[in-house]
Every structure is written in structure tokens, then in C-alpha cells.
Amino acid sequence: MKNFIREACIISFLALFSSLATAKAIGREYIIQSDFIYLDTSIKASTSARIKINTNLHNDIAEIGGGYIIRESSPSIELLAGVRYTNLEKYLTPGRAINAGESLIDGFGGMRLIQEIGENSNWRLIGKADMGHGSSALSWNAMALLNWQYKKRVSVSAGYKWLAYDYQTGIDSNRSNYEGVYQGPIISMAFSW
């Protein structure tokens, strides 16, 4: 690995209207990284009684963390830890509007593996997984990418990403459960300097 690498990429989820921006800095053995995910979707439906229901979901997720490279040769192994903040706003309009908003803060820990494909190849497989806990009962995040080093400072990746939450708040009749899984294919382009 280089003595110091800075990498920034923009990734688009193809399944929903969502975007993910990532920044990562790698020193000799340490990593600092951040992610920001923006999700905005709406669903319109009608019941058998012809009641129109509109549901809107707006979600911002910000993650900051660090890591330690425990193995540089392929497969490279990086241990990761950090904090993930989630702002969730739900709007439901079955005649009258119902707004609900939640803010979650979870610590997480996980790892990233990077496997070169062949000797002197520009291709590699990247896998990342972490689990967290805090405001939510459980959160987990996983990503698998096929990466191609297009030029010295430019790479392109394609893969799949999952992010899941299990969250409960309130008691008895005021109890609210939120179990969400965001998943979808991703395409990214990374620039390093």
C-alpha cells in the first residue's frame, strides 16, 4: 500500500432514489473513513374501500469511523469501528397526515477484505461487513464489490450493498417498531491522489 492514499467516490443505488458519498484516507497503518447516504422514496396505494394512502420515507445516514490495517498483502484485512447516525422521517396520509421522526446513533465494528484477482491484475474483490448497536437493537451493513483499477488514480466498481436496522421505541399502545433493510446494486467511480 502507498504511504498515504486519499480516496473519494460517489456511489448510486439503482434500486431506489438514493445516493452514497464516501471519503477515505489511508495512512501507513490507519484508516479514516466517512459515508453519507441520502434516501427519499414515496409509495401511493389504494385500499379495497378506495381510501388513498400516500407514504413518504426520507432517510439520512452519516457514518464516521476509523480502522487499522492488520494485513497489507492480498487479501488485505482492515478492522473497522465507528459511529453511524440515522435520521428517519416517515409521513403517512390516509385522510390525515401522520408524521414520525426518529434519530438513531449506533456504534459499529467490522472488517473489510480486499483480494487481488491474479498476479499483476487491475481487478480485485472487496468485501465489507459490520454490526452495530446503540439506539437500535441491531444494525448491520454489508457490501461486496468487483473493482477495476482503470487508471493509476481512477477505479470503477460494481456490486451490492445491504444496510439493516431493528429499532423499537415506546411502550404498550405507543410502541413503534422499525425494521428496515436497504439493499440494491451499486456502481461507483473512485479517484485517488
Q: Where are the domains of the chain?
A: 5-36+62-88+100-192
pLDDT > 70? residue 171: no
Q: The cell 411502550 sits on which residue?
A: 171
| % of the chain beyond a pLDDT of 70 | 69
pLDDT top residue among 14 and 115: 115
Q: How far apart are CA 67 and CA 109, in angstroms?
A: 9
CA nearest neighbour of 1 among 110, 145, 112, 81: 112
pLDDT > 60? residue 135: yes
pTM, 2 dp: 0.74
Query: What is the pLDDT of the chain when averaged over all its residues?
Result: 77
Burial class (CB within 10 angstroms; exposed 0-12, middle 13-18, buried 19+) of 170 = exposed
Report which listed range, 37-41, 74-78, 123-127, is most confident. Answer: 123-127
pLDDT > 90? residue 129: yes
Return the CATH fold of 5-36+62-88+100-192.
Answer: Lipocalin (2.40.128)
